[in-house]
Amino acid sequence: MTSFREHHVKGQPFVLANIWDRGSALMMEGLGAKALATSSAAHAFTLGRPDGGTVTRNEALAHAAEILSVTNLPVQGDFENGFGDDPETCAETVRLAAEIGLAGICIEDMMFPSVDAYDFDLAVERIRAAASAARALPQDFVLTARADGVMTNRYDTDEALRRLLAFEAAGADCLYAPVLPDMAAVARICAAVKAPVNVLVAGPYAKNTLAEFAAAGVARLSLGSSLARVTHAAIRDAANGMFGAGDFTTLSSAMSGDAVDKLLTR
């Protein structure tokens, strides 16, 4: 089996399928996913909570362990800000994630619940501590460092690049700045760093093709909560029809039970 790290090749992006329970993990594996990832937002939705620091580290680890129990694919944990402000907490999160068998995690440079950006120096120290913990593990572990300030309107692309370069120098294996302004910015980031770059396929980026991401130099495409929110949109549309005009036609596009069962059976 190809290792999680080996999937990360610049200009040859693979889809990292973010899932939210054992069933969605099995479906994505059955439909051809090469690797899976949890989604902090999608997980929060299953708990009836909003996204953004509402899931604890213990809950995230238990959730990831459930996913790992049904698949042999590499799984990355979407572990928000590492579940704490200080560098040692980030390092401990890496160690705990490795203990349950995750192939890697991503750590953001945002504070919760405010989503203000950590000071540059602290943000780098957090990634340095996490990377040091990852390198001390007996198994390979891919640490993804996220610069989220463009997405949260805390800083611009120049600052995102400055942080990503520093995260790379601190030992991050993969770099990620969600929702950059455009594909030109994506290509700029990819050209400026040596490490593989992840792009979030959400919003306007859902209109781009795999070939376009490849041309920009992207190595990995994650879905975040996009796939989960597609299912929520289907629930909303069906409910609006049923509880509004009494129209059930949305349900006619449902997969057959046999088709679902086939994807869930190994």
pLDDT digits (tens, 9 = 90+) for 51-104: 988 999 999 999 999 999 999 999 999 999 999 999 999 999 999 999 999 999
Task: Name all domains of the chain by residue range, CATH numbers in brackets.
Answer: 5-227 (3.20.20.60)
pTM of full prediction above 0.85: yes
pLDDT tens, residue by residue, 165-206: 999 999 999 999 999 999 999 999 999 999 999 999 999 999
Mean pLDDT over the full length of the chain: 97
Query: In the predicted model, what is the mean pLDDT of residues 141-166?
Result: 98
Contact 39, 228 (CB under 8 A): yes
d(CA 59, CA 43): 9
| pLDDT at res. 93 | 98
**pLDDT greater than 80 at residue 266:** no
Measured between alpha carbons, how far is 150 from 229 in angstroms, rounded to an integer?
22
Question: Does 236 score more than 90 pLDDT?
Answer: yes
Residue 1 has pLDDT above 80, yes or no: no
- pLDDT (average), residues 35-39: 98
**What whole-number distance in Å separates Cα of residue 138 and Cα of residue 194?**
25
Instruction: State the pLDDT confidence band at 115, using cuts at 50, 70 and 90.
Output: confident
Residues 42 and 55: beta-carbon distance below 8 Å: no
User: Distance (Å, rounded) from C-alpha 232 to C-alpha 230?
Assistant: 5
Using the predicted structure, report yes or no on whether residue 228 has a pLDDT greater than 80: yes
Does the pLDDT at position 139 exceed 90? yes
If you average pLDDT over residues 253-260, what whole number do you get?
Answer: 95
pLDDT computed for residue 2 by the predictor: 84
